[in-house]
């Protein structure tokens, strides 16, 4: 190979690397680990609700999935019958854009949602799956609210060191009590 051809090879290699990095989806996310108290304090809205509708839309090159939540109980924030929640990633036609750590919700599923609303007016789930407690179907008076351990890279907010997440499991009545106690101490509502 002549030395004059070397810059052309480097240029083609750089173009190939750039194209590959733009086309491949992100395979991981780094999240700040949030305790239950963090979720309560940092959320602008906490509700119990059922996924009533879902759709995906492009915002520039990115896909966001929108969920309409039918609210059955409010723990914190303004009273609304429905809340529209946005989650990064989704699917539109043949285009799939997964985002690690983003939950995928199904119509009819019930959760306790820890949400925050951005300055742009979009409402997001706190810490992706960290702010989502599953409630089992059925008419149990005091169902178990559960959150699986997140498998994404998590950092401790105080030390910035990697930490493992753990599952959270408690009765809905206990979750209500923890929220009320935290809000009573801080005066947030």
pLDDT digits (tens, 9 = 90+) for 45-85: 999 999 999 999 999 999 999 999 999 999 999 989 999 99
Residue at 97 is within a domain: yes
Question: Higher-confidence residue: 186 or 89?
Answer: 89
d(CA 34, CA 154): 9
Report if residue 61 sits inside a domain. yes
Whole-prediction pTM value? 0.80
CA distances from 13 to 23, 25, 129, 158 (A): 15, 20, 38, 41
- For residue 17, being part of any structural domain is answered with no
Specify the pLDDT at position 155: 86
| pLDDT tens digits along 16-40 | 444 334 444 444 456 788 999 999 9
Q: Are strands 123-125 and 110-117 parallel, antiparallel or unpaired?
A: antiparallel
Is residue 96 domain-resident?
yes
Residue 189, C-beta contacts closer than 8 angstroms, at least 6 positions apart: 76, 183
Residue 13, in any domain of the structure: no
Does 127 reside within a domain? yes
Q: How far is CA 54 from CA 64, 121, 144, 149, in A?
A: 11, 18, 25, 25
Q: How many domains does the chain have?
A: 1
Is 1 within the bounds of a domain?
no
Tell me if 12 is assigned to some domain. no
Instruction: Write out the residue range of the structural domain in which residue 100 sits.
Output: 22-186
Return the DSSP state at 108: T
Which structure tokens are listed for 153?
A: 């890279």
Residue 89 sits in a domain whose CATH number is 2.40.50
Residue 29 confidence (pLDDT): 58
Task: Count other Cβ atoms within 10 Å, centred on residue 94.
Answer: 5
């Amino acid at each position: 190979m002549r030395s004059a051809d070397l810059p052309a090879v480097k240029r083609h290699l750089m173009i190939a690397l750039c194209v590959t990095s733009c086309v491949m989806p992100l395979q991981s996310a780094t999240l700040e680990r949030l305790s239950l108290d963090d979720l309560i304090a940092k959320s602008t809205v906490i509700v119990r609700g059922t996924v009533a509708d879902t759709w995906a839309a492009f915002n520039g090159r990115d896909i966001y999935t929108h969920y309409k939540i039918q609210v059955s109980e409010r723990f914190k924030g303004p009273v609304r019958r429905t809340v529209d929640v946005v989650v990064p990633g989704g699917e539109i036609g043949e285009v799939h854009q997964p985002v690690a750590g983003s939950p995928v919700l199904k119509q009819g599923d019930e959760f306790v949602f820890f949400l925050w609303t951005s300055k742009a007016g979009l409402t997001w789930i706190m810490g992706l799956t960290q702010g989502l407690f599953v409630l089992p179907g059925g008419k149990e008076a005091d169902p178990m609210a559960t959150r699986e351990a997140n498998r994404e890279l998590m950092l401790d907010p105080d030390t910035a060191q990697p930490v493992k997440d753990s599952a959270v499991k408690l009765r809905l009545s206990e979750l209500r009590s923890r929220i009320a106690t935290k809000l009573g101490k801080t005066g947030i509502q």
